[in-house]
Amino acid sequence: MLSRRSFIAGSAAGAVWLRPHPLHAEAVMTDDGYYTEPWFLESFLELADDLAAASAKNKRLAIMWELRGCPYCRETHLVNFAKPEIADYIKARFEILQLNIVGSREVTDFDGEKLSEKMFARKYGVRSVPTFQFFSDKLTGLSDKAPREREVARAQGYIEAKPFLDLFRFVADRDYEKGRVLHLPESGKRTRAE
């Protein structure tokens, strides 16, 4: 026998199923309270392997540092990554690894050192969220460099959509190798401290 409650629940589920699928996936709130993108890198947190795999796909490796409850992290997901032109550009050229600035998962750094996410952030001087770190696409010699010298670019704080896309273009086009400097607007540097 079909009750009124089960009929309503079934109708609601059917209505969701009948809706056209969006062209772009939306950010998802995980069980641990973080927004994530369905296209973010699933990783064993071994950075040398992640960088090698990204390079094999002709992509760059970037880390997005976040903290649960960070309003600017949320805004990055719900505003910037929600724009198809931004998400499509980044998906085609980058592997994004999402890390928790106070997290306890074990990360193996490029030099083989195993650290918690929190200690890894400390090693690289990441002190606010959101922070994006961009790394060289070559492993050769990377482990011999000091942690900050392994990065080709870094951006801290919320960055509005246009300069956010410019940041990813700057790295993808290797403008840092050409001596160019990317100037991000001061108004876009809203952060949440650790």
How much is the pLDDT for 4?
46
Q: What's the angle, vertex CA 96, arms to CA 71 and CA 104, rounded to 5?
A: 70
How much is the pLDDT for 17?
38
Rounded to whole angstroms, what are the CA distances from 113 to 24, 30, 98, 120, 147?
Answer: 37, 28, 19, 9, 11
With beta carbons less than 8 A apart as the criterion, state whether 30 and 92 touch. no
How much is the pLDDT for 194?
45
Tokens of 5: 């409650």
pLDDT tens series, the chain, 194 aa: 444 444 444 444 444 333 333 445 578 777 777 899 999 999 999 999 999 999 999 999 999 999 999 999 999 999 999 999 999 999 999 999 999 999 999 999 999 999 999 999 999 999 999 999 999 999 999 999 999 999 999 999 999 999 999 999 999 999 999 988 888 876 445 544 44
- For domain 29-193, the question of CATH label 3.40.30.10 is answered with yes
How much is the pLDDT for 191?
45
DSSP code, position 158: B
How much is the pLDDT for 148?
95
pTM: 0.82
The C-alpha torsion from 156 through 129 and 137 to 147, rounded to 10°, is 90
How much is the pLDDT for 122?
98
